Structure 1
Amino acid sequence: LNYALERAKQLPQNKFAVLYLDLGQSVKLEFLFGSEYNKRVLKDAAGLLKTILRPTDTIARIGEGVFAILIEDISNPDAPIMIASRIQGKIRKYLARKENELQVRANVGVALCGGEYDTIDDILRAADDALSLAKSDRRKMLQLLREQSMNVV
């Protein structure tokens, strides 16, 4: 992430995005079906992410049911939203097959960066803020914040 930020500061056309993906019912899955089942669902979700993302993209599990994704070399500013939508669709299909009775949501917050952020913490905070906005509106489930101006799209 540090390397992506430094590259974007030097050449603002080197845009990148940080996506926060939250499988909102992970704790409920663990409570209802046990920790081994929940671990399997999270492992399968990570596997699904690998089928959607490029080999150069980075995936990290950063919390219980929360993943951070770094997408570099973005030429189309709409690409992170398209990727996030594909992620949501694949995870929704997977979870629908696994647990019909449980409503598991895949919320995504996206921070698009072109060198305007000063620190990594600023970028991560923006992605987290976008995720919070996505989670607060049950109809959206996906939120993009563009650069530091906090423009909501």
Structure 2
Amino acid sequence: MPQAPAKIRTGAINVLAQWLVIDKEGPEKAWTSMIVPFFNRIWPMEKRFLDNAHTVHLIRLAVGAGDHFPSAIELLRPYMQPFARSASLHMLTGSGIPSKFPHSTLDLLWIVLRSSEATSFELADILDEIVAAFPEIEIDRRFQFLAQKATRYR
């Protein structure tokens, strides 16, 4: 996999994300039996293979992991890069992940948005869902920083 061009690696992650959601045994089983071994054995760990084009697909994988979302964020964290321009977070909206796993969702948002000038149309709604599930999270400095970056249209 390291010898493959970045577009091939991006395509591989995209295919994994699709397989995860259609696996007949369910996403949680597919996560543990297919995705975790893939990243532990095959995916290159060298920094030179990091590419922020992979980030959106890695987020799709994490969301697709369902109840394994917190461990998915931990596994995929080293491979995620801050978004360069626009931050596509649509896969989080409507997934229930932010309300079910508010701390892990905040971790994810911090990874992909903290040092980025990127904007996301979905950020405000995701933050609202997080705080509705766990109001005490508003005192987290990361939450406060991200809330300032969020564009509100209402």
Task: Report the TM-score when normalising by structure 1.
Answer: 0.27
More helix by share: 2
Higher relative contact order (CA 8 A, sep 6+): 1
Task: Report the TM-score when normalising by structure 2.
Answer: 0.27
More strand by share: 1
